[in-house]
Amino acid sequence: MRIEVDHDACVGAGQCALVAGEVFDQDDEGFVVVLDDTPPTGSHQAARRAASLCPARAIRVRE
């Protein structure tokens, strides 16, 4: 799995950091930071969930 984020689209709502804290964090302004762009299998489910919940659809998960 590979995670791509669109930093320009991000609105800093924090859903990704809430539901997949091992994969996503937020910078000082609250905007997305990818902690691990090739997360281990155990985090795939959470990463997909973060992508599906992102209110700006700023997260792309390539399987």
Partner 1 sequence: MENPTVDKVPTAGCPFHGLEALPADGTLLHPSPALAELRSSARATPLKYTGDHVGWFVTDYELAKRVLEDSRLGIHSERVPASSGESTNAELDDDVVASLLDADAIESLAVSNVLNLNSPQHEKMRRAMTGRFMVKAVRGREPAIREIVQRQLQRLQGHDRPVDITTEYALPISAHVHCLALGVPDGLIDSYVRIYNDEPEAADQTDFVRAVQEQFDLVRTVLEEKRRDLSGDALSDLLRAGLTDRETEGAAWILMSVGRDNVARMISTMTVALLENPEQLAILRDDPTLVPGAVEEIVRYGSPFVGLFVRTAIEDADIDDLHIDAGQSVTVSAVAANRDPKRFEHPDDFDVTRDAFGHLGFGFGAHSCVGQQLARVEIRLAIEALILGIPSLRLVSAAQLEPMPFAHPVGMHDTGSVVVEW
Q: Which of 38, 52 has the CB closer to partner 1?
A: 52
Least distance to partner 1, CB of residue 14, Å: 5
Q: What is the biggest distance separating any 2 CA atoms in the chain, rounded to whole angstroms?
A: 29
Which residues, at least 6 apart from 21, have a Cβ–Cβ distance to it below 8 Å? none
Least distance to partner 1, CB of residue 60, Å: 15
Q: Which of 3, 19 has the CB closer to partner 1?
A: 19
Least distance to partner 1, CB of residue 30, Å: 4
User: Which residues sit at the interface with partner 1, rule CB under 8 A?
Assistant: 11-15, 17-19, 21, 25-26, 28-31, 49, 52-53, 55-57
Estimate the share of the chain in helix, then strand, then coil, as percent rounded to the nearest 5: 30, 20, 50
What's the angle, vertex CA 51, arms to CA 7 and CA 6, rounded to 5?
A: 15
